[in-house]
A and B are shown apart, each in its own frame.
Chain A
Amino acid sequence: MPIANLATWLQLIAQLEPEAAALIIALLGKLTGQTAANIATMDADPVWQAIAAKAQAEIDKTPK
């Protein structure tokens, strides 16, 4: 988020009652925090899934 936008958000939030401000920030933080983690996780999870699938296939096809 650009600093100018962050400053604007903080100014707007500072006008609110503390409880309302905390609630809005908590919701925004939850959304943005999860989005950041989700974006990075989207890259990792299919790779972990592929490793698991290949490992299982190798175990199944290898003579015991």
Chain B
Amino acid sequence: MRTKKILLPLVVSVCLFFSGCTAKQIAEVSAKLAIAVQGFQNIEVTLHDGGKISNAEHIAIQQGLLKFSAAGIALDAGLVAGDSKTSLAGKVLAFADSFTNLNAATFNVKDANSQAEFQIAMASMKVLVDSLAGLVK
């Protein structure tokens, strides 16, 4: 009985410790990704204003960013609400899908230099998106 008394709280503590860590790690990756995406957005706007990106390309990329940021907001809301790992996994999946859309929009940019810059930015963002997916597996 005494052993049960000690073991039960310990097992519960360890489980909660790990679930808390996952939420914190997801939140930290989301924060890093948000900063990277904001940097990308600023560069894209500068390139558009400088005439390197057409209006149609600019709108497509900003629409991609709008969806991506909405997925980020939903993920953060899930973290604050203490969503289950399964629910967070669904939000991370939506996040990854919106990243794929954004990536596709950057591939359509005709200016070679701009597209090369975008692909570097997308590659760094993909590392973070993949890392989020890994956390909810």
Interface residues on A, range: 35 or more
The answer to whether A33 touches B9 (Cβ under 8 A) is no
Is B73's CB within 8 Å of the partner chain A? yes
Does B137 make an interface contact (CB < 8 A)? no
Residue in contact with A10 in the complex, picked from B13, B26, B31, CB distance below 8 Å: B13
Q: Are A13 and B9 in contact (CB under 8 A)?
A: yes
Interface residue ranges, A against B (CB under 8 Å):
10, 13-14, 16-18, 21-22, 25-26, 28-30, 32-34, 36-41, 43-45, 47-52, 54-56, 58-59, 62-64
| CB<8 Å pairs between A and B, sample of 10 | A18-B4, A30-B82, A38-B80, A40-B28, A47-B38, A48-B30, A54-B45, A55-B69, A56-B62, A58-B62
